[in-house]
Structure formats: structure tokens, C-alpha cells
């Protein structure tokens, strides 16, 4: 490292190391220093302070490793090449001053490796003095702190950003919101806060796993960020809640197209790990009126408006209005009162019996939770259960339900009334808990109840796209001997493949499907599909929300096994249950008996809104021995079709509510084997030809009709039916 030569700078005088008698010793020492420099982990660079432009005279192997340059490439150069094209003038000045003042310098520089990759150089520069006190060299110690720097940056980024999506987090958002409010006030601009919450995200997250849910959140964040302008902020508040801040609006109307665009973009299908999913969002919007004292208030208002948007059916947006404040206080109240009610056990279980379709006997009952509020009266479960699920209060609540149902069934058993089964509703929150199976086992043991007497109703969506864990939980429940019913069946995406993997006993058809089953061809098809699918898998089927005789008849014809609904019995308090079983009540179901005994006698259904036409037709056709059913409204006709075996239908064309061709085309889907005839007073050729072409109509007749011709047509019609049965219909002439 010894060096002689002229220093061409103007501030340091030149001197060299003189050879002395101790040269030998000195050489040994030098060797030692060199070795230690070579072994150093930090890069070391030594420059000649006595030559022009401070050329490098030595670099150690660590320097080569850190910078990617070989010694041979850098000797003779000034170190500044490491800085690439960007220089930080402040740092350059700091180094220059240090060198001039002959003191140590410590700086952190952005440097570039030979391959162009940036590294952070934590650099110490020290002058080396000769014995005469002259600076002969500078030694630089280079420490690559890129990793540390990255980590620090990450840390500071994470303080203000959401780790998953990279969006600003709540803290940064509040900062920008305060700034935005000030600017809006100063420049008379409008500022909007949009609170965005995904619809139905929780079940996806719970059933598909959190990492799957995370992928959706990242994609949602990306789609939202794509929609905003520079200066707007998209932030994540946590979970599936986001906020968009629009700080510079000329007028509030500008928010509308933006909100619509956001909804449209979020609701485009998602494809994650080969699974197609639909996610929508609800948006609440609040606007600054120029003198908001507390900017965070805008977030609360937007949150309230979002809640309202959810209530109004999701996938849309809602503005904040003052009366929403009221709503929130109600929500908070409900939560508090629910807590009080749980502590006071202010609940009651009602039971709704379930009937076997063939025997009419009670096969079980469903336990339904009732809350009688001291002031507000009856609060329906659909109002408080979602709140309880949100707050976690559902756990103690459902444990109480389970405990009470088991205790009461046991109690009945001790009095000689054996309840075949009691069904208890399970919330997805409860189902996901790790000790769920143990809690059931404990309750069964506590009441010494036969496990076969307990059924758990689990909604299909809880298991949807099932994680293997759900199946495992079901298997453990099943191993206890407890039966499992999948409810809301048909509301999700029931796939046969999926269903056959589930260790379940029964499926429950949702009352939303049962409601229009006799007249809506889709609901009818779904119902029949579910029943045949379930039966193939040896599962029983129960229909819920059955309210009319015709629904029962239709479901019976479709081979549904059991029924629950107002038509048979409403949910009742425990005190009435015993009575019900005590009488060993058999349901006398006229429709069932009728359909069983009525055989397959040739039956014609007449539909016409004019009663005199019905009477006239009846007179003509009765003579031929047909059984005649008559209706003046399409809905009544559907009910009759549900209850009876009808082979031929004659319908008027022009009726209020539904045309004859429309009615018959629905009938075609519901009862494809029927023969359908239009008897019309006028001719709307288009609709009639359409209906004929679709195969909905067998014949088109005009009023007034010819009795003889009509009778002949009917004879032919019955002959044309299923040949196996045609002799049964051998009426007419």
C-alpha cells in the first residue's frame, strides 16, 4: 500500500514512505494487512490521494463480489463510476467536504453493479496519513446494505400499506382524507368517499380457504385501482372492505358513472385456481359538504350507506342520508339487547313437525329459535341471526338451541313420546369451529340422548366448493350417529359429483323453490331433478315451506318423501308438541288419497275465463264419460294439474293475465305427456303458429265449436296417448 508520487491536488502536500532499516519487518506487517483485507467481508477500496482525480489503486475480493467489477477493470479509475448517471449532489458535496477537511465520511449511496443492478452502499471513507501527517490515500469501506434497506422500506411501506393488496391502508387513507378535505374546502371542490364491501365473500373465504379468498381480494383491488384517476385513492380497510377516495370532483353527479363502472368491473367473473366465481359488491357513498369538521365522519357515513345498499339487495350503491344514523343505532341496540337476552336465556324453541308423504305420520320436527323481546315483541330469527353471526354471539346462542332441543326431546321420551328426530339449524360460523363435533357429543352425553334422534341442518352454501375439511367434519358428525340434512337445497350449485362425496342422510328442498313448483317449469324441473338425484344416492328428500294442497300433490307425484310447512302445521311451542305426538296424529291428506285412488280415468281440464263456455263444454263432453275439471284462471288450472292426473287440456286463448298459448307452453314443460288444445274465439295467427311449432299445442280449434268435431278430436287425442294405456282411455267413440 506504500505509495510514492506527486499529489497534484492543491490542498495536500506530497510525501512518500522512506525505506528504513526496518523494511523487513514492515513487509511482514504489510503482508498481514493485505491478507486481512482480502479476507474482509466488507468491500475495501483504496485510492491514491496524491494522484489526480483520486484513482483506485486497490480493491479487495469483497469489493469485486459486491460490485461485480474485477480489480483489473477498476484500477486507475475514480470511484464515481459506481454511482452511474445519478448523483445525489448533497451526498457528493458531503464527501467532497470530508475529503478536503481530512476527516472520516459516512454516507449511504445508491450505487450500481457492473450488471446495472442497484445496490445500497453504506460507505465509510477515511484518510490515511503519512508519518509526516500528509494524506497519501483514502480507504473506503463498502458495506452492501441493499437487503436491509429493502426491509426498512418494506417496513415503512407496510406501516402505510396493506400487505396483501399493496393498497394504502386505513392510516394512510385517513391522512389523504384529511388533506383532501382541506383542498376541497379551499378550492370549492367536492370530495366523495365510497365504502365498498364484497357481497357473500365470507362464505367463499370460509369454505375455500383463506389463501383462495386472498387471491380474490388481490384481483378486486387490481380491478378497482384500474378504474381510478391519478390523485384518487383506493385503500383497503381490512377483510373485504375497501374505500375509494375521490378528492377532486367538480360535481357530485360525477360519482354515479364511476360507481356503476366499479360495480360492473367487480362483478365480472373470477377464475381462481380453475374455479369460476362470481363476486359482487355493495357501495355506500358519502360526500363532503365543504365544512366537515371530522373527516373520519365521512367514512362512517359511507359505511352506513353501504349497509343500506346491502339490505336493499346487494350489488348496488346507496348514498348516505341523515336517517341512516338511526339505522345504525338500531343495529347497535340489537346487538346489545341480544347479549342481554343470551345472558337471561330469553329465548324459546318452537317446533315444526315433519310428515312422511306415504303414511302421513310425523317423522320428525325442526327446532326454530324464537326471541320474544320484552318491548319490541317477536323478533324474527332472520333479523337477529345475521347479527349474531356477525358478532359471534351465534355460538352461545346455538349451543343453547342444541342443549334445549336435546333436553326437551329427552323429556318427551321419558314421558313415553318418542320423537323420531329433532332437526337443529347449524350456522356456518359454528360449523367452522374446531370444537364443533365435540360440542355436539358433549350435549348428547349430557342428556343421554340417542344420537339417531338428532339431525343437523346445514345449508348447502356452507359446504359449497367444499374444502376437504368440511367433509371430514361431516364424517366425524356421522360417526357419532347424528344425521345430516343439507338444506336450502337447490339454492346453490348442487352438483351430483359433489353431493355423492358428502356423508349425508337427507336433502331439504328450499321453500323458495317449493313456492311456485306447480306453475314454474324451472322450479318444477329443479325439484324433480333434486329428488331423482337424491334417490339415486339413497338420500331422503324433504320439502319445506309447503303451503298448499296442490304443492303437496305435485311433490307427491314427484316422489318427495317428507313434508314440512304451514299446510300441515306451523311451528309451535314445546307445550303443544306433546299433544301432537300424544294423538299420534295422522295427516288426512285428501290430495294424496285422491291421487292414489283416482286411477287413470280419462280426465280433461278445461280452462276459460268465461264460466258459460266451461259449462257448455262440460255438457258436451260429460256424455262421453270423461272426468272434467274446470278452471277460470291459469293459476287454478295449475293447481288442478298438480293434484290430478290429466291427459287432455283445452284452453281458451284470450284470458286476463296469461294467454292460452303461454299457459299451454308452460304446461308442456311441466307435463310433457299431456295433449294440449286451444279453443279460441279469435285468431292471433302469430302466437298460435309459434305455439304449434314449439310443440305446445296439439290442435287449434275456433269458437263457436262444432260439438261432433270436438268429440272426435278428443277421441283421437286419447287414442294417440301412450299406447300402453290407450285401452284405459278407450272412451269416446
Positions 299 through 338 that interact with ligand C2E (CB under 6 A): none
Half-sphere exposure of 331 (CA within 13 A, CB side): 14
Of 74, 263, 401, 637, the one binding ligand C2E (CB under 6 A) is 401
Of 282, 352, 461, 519, the one binding ligand C2E (CB under 6 A) is 352
**Applying CB under 6 A, does 380 fall inside the site for ligand C2E?**
yes
Of 368, 577, 678, 714, the one binding ligand C2E (CB under 6 A) is 368
**Applying CB under 6 A, does 566 fall inside the site for ligand C2E?**
yes
Residue 385 contact partner, candidates Mg ion, ligand C2E, none, CB within 5 to 8 A by sort of partner: ligand C2E
Q: Please give the backbone phi and psi of residue 491, each rounded to the nearest 5 degrees, phi first.
A: -80, -25
Of 511, 644, 645, 668, the one binding ligand C2E (CB under 6 A) is 511
How far apart are the C-alpha atoms of 688 and 691, rounded to whole Å? 5
- Cα 204 to Cα 23, 195, 450, distances in angstroms: 80, 21, 34
How far apart are the C-alpha atoms of 601 and 681, rounded to whole Å? 29
Q: Which is nearer to ligand C2E, 162 or 589 (CB)?
A: 589
For 616, the 3-state DSSP assignment is helix
Segment near ligand C2E (CB under 6 A); pick from 133-141, 168-176, 185-193, 539-547: 539-547
Q: Which is nearer to ligand C2E, 213 or 545 (CB)?
A: 545
**Applying CB under 6 A, does 151 fall inside the site for ligand C2E?**
no
Positions 457 through 486 that interact with ligand C2E (CB under 6 A): 457
Q: Please give the backbone phi and psi of residue 307, each rounded to the nearest 5 degrees, phi first.
A: -60, -40
What does the binding site for Mg ion look like in residue numbers (CB under 5 A)?
Answer: 425, 457, 487
Beta bridge partners of 285: 194, 319
Q: Which is nearer to Mg ion, 354 or 473 (CB)?
A: 354
Residue 356 contact partner, candidates Mg ion, ligand C2E, none, CB within 5 to 8 A by sort of partner: none
Length of the chain equals: 733
Of 211, 382, 414, 448, the one binding ligand C2E (CB under 6 A) is 382
**Which three cell numbers, joined as nine digits, stand for 283?**
357501495
Q: Please give the backbone phi and psi of residue 184, each rounded to the nearest 5 degrees, phi first.
A: -60, -40
Residues in binding contact with ligand C2E, number by CB under 6 A? 21
Q: Which is nearer to ligand C2E, 440 or 677 (CB)?
A: 440
Contacts of 579 (CB under 8 A, 6+ apart): none
Q: Which is nearer to ligand C2E, 232 or 389 (CB)?
A: 389
Residue 368 contact partner, candidates ligand C2E, Mg ion, none, CB within 5 to 8 A by sort of partner: ligand C2E
How far apart are the C-alpha atoms of 138 and 126, rounded to whole Å? 6
**Which three cell numbers, joined as nine digits, stand for 534?**
337424491
Of 9, 360, 381, 420, the one binding ligand C2E (CB under 6 A) is 381
Cβ of residue 439: shortest distance to ligand C2E, in angstroms?
14
Cβ of residue 569: shortest distance to ligand C2E, in angstroms?
9
CA torsion sign, 492 to 493 to 494 to 498? negative
Cβ of residue 484: shortest distance to Mg ion, in angstroms?
12
CB of 678 closer than 8 Å to CB of 691 = yes
CB of 327 closer than 8 Å to CB of 309 = no
Interhelix angle 660-670/521-536, nearest 10 degrees: 0
Q: Which is nearer to Mg ion, 204 or 365 (CB)?
A: 365
Cβ of residue 379: shortest distance to ligand C2E, in angstroms?
10
**Applying CB under 6 A, does 345 fall inside the site for ligand C2E?**
no
Q: Which is nearer to Mg ion, 513 or 717 (CB)?
A: 513
Of 318, 398, 465, 680, the one binding ligand C2E (CB under 6 A) is 398
Cβ of residue 366: shortest distance to Mg ion, in angstroms?
6
How far apart are the C-alpha atoms of 572 and 578, rounded to whole Å? 11
Q: Which is nearer to ligand C2E, 216 or 482 (CB)?
A: 482
How many Å is the Cα radius of gyration of the chain? Answer: 41
**Applying CB under 6 A, does 404 fall inside the site for ligand C2E?**
no
Residue 401 contact partner, candidates ligand C2E, Mg ion, none, CB within 5 to 8 A by sort of partner: ligand C2E
How far apart are the C-alpha atoms of 673 and 720, rounded to whole Å? 11
Contacts of 470 (CB under 8 A, 6+ apart): 207, 431, 462, 463
* SS3 readout for 542-598: EEECCCCHHHHHHHHHCCCCEEECCCCCCCEEHHHHHHHHHCCCCCCCHHHHHHHHC
Q: Which is nearer to ligand C2E, 357 or 545 (CB)?
A: 545
Cβ of residue 389: shortest distance to Mg ion, in angstroms?
15
Contact residues for ligand C2E (CB under 6 A)? Answer: 352, 368-369, 380-382, 385, 398, 401, 425, 427, 457, 487, 511, 544-547, 565-566, 571
Amino acid at each position: 500500500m506504500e505509495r510514492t508520487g506527486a499529489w497534484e491536488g492543491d490542498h495536500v502536500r506530497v510525501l512518500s514512505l522512506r525505506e528504513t532499516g526496518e523494511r523487513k519487518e514492515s513487509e511482514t506487517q504489510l503482508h498481514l494487512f493485505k491478507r486481512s483485507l482480502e479476507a474482509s467481508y466488507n468491500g475495501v477500496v483504496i485510492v491514491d490521494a496524491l494522484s489526480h482525480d483520486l484513482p483506485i489503486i486497490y480493491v479487495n475480493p469483497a469489493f469485486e463480489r459486491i460490485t461485480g467489477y474485477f480489480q483489473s477493470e477498476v484500477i486507475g479509475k475514480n470511484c464515481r463510476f459506481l454511482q452511474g448517471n445519478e448523483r445525489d449532489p448533497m451526498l457528493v458535496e458531503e464527501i467532497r467536504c470530508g475529503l478536503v477537511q481530512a476527516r472520516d465520511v459516512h454516507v449511504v449511496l445508491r450505487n450500481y453493479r457492473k450488471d446495472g443492478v442497484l445496490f445500497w452502499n453504506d460507505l465509510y471513507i477515511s484518510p490515511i496519513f503519512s508519518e509526516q501527517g500528509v494524506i497519501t490515500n483514502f480507504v473506503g469501506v463498502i458495506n452492501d446494505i441493499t437487503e436491509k434497506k429493502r426491509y426498512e422500506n418494506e417496513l415503512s411501506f407496510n406501516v402505510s400499506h396493506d400487505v396483501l393488496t399493496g393498497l394504502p391502508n386505513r392510516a394512510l387513507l385517513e391522512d389523504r382524507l384529511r388533506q383532501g378535505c382541506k383542498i376541497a374546502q379551499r378550492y370549492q371542490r367536492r370530495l366523495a368517499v365510497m365504502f365498498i364491501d364484497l357481497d357473500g365473500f365470507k362464505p367463499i373465504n370460509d369454505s375455500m380457504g383463506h389463501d383462495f379468498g386472498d387471491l380474490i381480494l388481490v384481483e378486486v383491488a387490481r380491478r378497482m385501482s384500474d378504474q381510478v384517476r391519478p390523485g384518487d385513492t383506493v385503500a383497503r380497510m381490512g377483510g373485504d372492505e375497501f374505500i375509494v377516495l375521490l378528492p377532486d370532483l367538480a360535481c357530485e353527479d360525477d360519482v354515479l358513472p364511476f360507481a356503476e363502472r366499479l360495480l360492473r368491473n367487480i362483478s365480472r367473473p373470477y377464475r381462481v385456481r380453475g374455479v369460476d366465481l362470481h363476486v359482487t359488491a355493495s357501495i355506500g357513498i358519502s360526500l363532503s359538504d365543504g365544512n366537515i369538521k371530522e373527516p373520519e365522519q365521512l367514512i362512517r357515513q359511507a359505511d352506513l350507506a353501504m349497509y343500506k345498499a346491502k339490505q336493499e339487495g346487494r350489488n348496488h350503491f346507496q348514498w348516505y342520508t341523515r336517517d341512516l344514523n338511526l339505522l345504525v343505532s338500531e343495529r347497535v341496540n340489537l346487538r346489545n339487547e341480544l347479549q342481554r337476552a343470551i345472558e337471561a336465556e330469553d329465548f324459546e324453541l318452537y317446533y315444526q313437525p315433519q310428515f312422511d308423504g306415504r303414511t302421513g305420520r310425523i317423522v320428525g320436527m325442526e327446532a326454530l329459535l324464537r326471541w320474544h323481546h320484552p318491548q319490541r315483541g317477536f323478533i324474527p330469527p332472520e333479523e337477529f341471526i345475521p347479527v349474531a353471526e356477525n358478532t359471534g354471539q351465534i355460538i352461545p346462542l346455538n349451543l343453547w338451541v342444541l342443549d334445549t332441543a336435546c333436553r326437551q326431546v329427552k323429556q318427551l321420551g321419558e314421558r313415553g313420546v318418542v320423537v323420531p328426530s329433532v332437526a337443529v339449524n347449524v350456522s356456518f360460523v359454528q360449523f367452522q369451529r374446531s370444537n364443533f363435533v365435540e360440542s355436539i357429543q358433549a350435549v348428547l352425553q349430557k342428556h343421554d340422548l340417542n344420537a339417531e334422534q338428532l339431525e343437523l341442518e346445514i345449508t348447502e352454501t356452507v359446504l359449497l366448493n367444499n374444502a376437504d375439511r368440511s367433509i371430514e367434519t361431516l364424517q366425524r358428525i356421522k360417526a357419532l350417529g347424528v344425521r345430516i340434512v343439507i338444506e336450502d337445497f337447490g339454492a346453490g350449485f348442487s352438483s351430483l359429483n359433489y353431493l355423492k362425496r358428502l356423508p349425508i342422510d337427507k336433502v331439504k328442498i328450499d321453500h323458495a323453490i317449493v313456492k311456485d313448483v306447480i306453475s314454474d317449469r324451472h322450479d318444477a324441473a329443479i325439484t324433480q331433478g333434486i329428488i331423482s338425484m337424491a334417490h339415486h344416492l339413497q338420500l331422503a328428500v324433504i320439502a319445506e315451506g309447503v303451503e298448499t294442497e296442490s304443492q303437496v300433490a305435485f311433490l307427491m307425484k314427484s316422489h318427495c318423501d317428507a313434508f314440512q310447512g304451514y299446510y300441515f302445521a306451523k311451528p309451535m311451542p314445546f307445550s303443544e308438541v306433546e299433544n301432537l305426538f300424544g294423538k299420534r296424529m295422522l295427516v288426512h291428506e285428501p290430495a294424496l288419497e285422491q291421487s292414489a285412488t283416482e286411477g287413470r280415468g280419462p280426465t280433461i281440464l278445461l280452462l276459460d275465463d268465461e264460466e258459460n263456455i266451461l259449462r257448455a263444454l262440460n255438457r258436451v263432453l260429460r256424455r262421453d264419460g270423461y272426468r272434467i275439471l274446470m278452471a277460470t284462471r291459469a293459476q287454478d288450472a295449475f293447481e288442478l294439474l298438480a293434484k290430478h292426473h290429466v291427459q287432455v287440456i283445452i284452453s281458451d286463448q284470450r284470458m286476463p293475465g296469461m294467454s292460452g298459448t303461454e299457459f299451454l307452453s308452460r304446461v308442456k314443460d311441466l307435463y310433457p305427456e299431456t295433449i294440449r288444445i286451444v279453443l279460441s274465439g279469435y285468431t292471433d295467427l302469430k302466437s298460435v303458429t309459434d305455439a304449434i311449432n314449439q310443440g305446445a299445442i296439439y290442435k287449434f280449434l275456433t269458437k263457436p265449436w262444432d260439438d261432433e268435431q270436438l268429440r272426435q278430436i278428443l277421441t283421437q287425442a286419447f287414442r294417440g296417448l301412450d299406447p300402453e294405456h290407450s285401452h284405459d282411455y278407450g272412451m269416446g267413440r
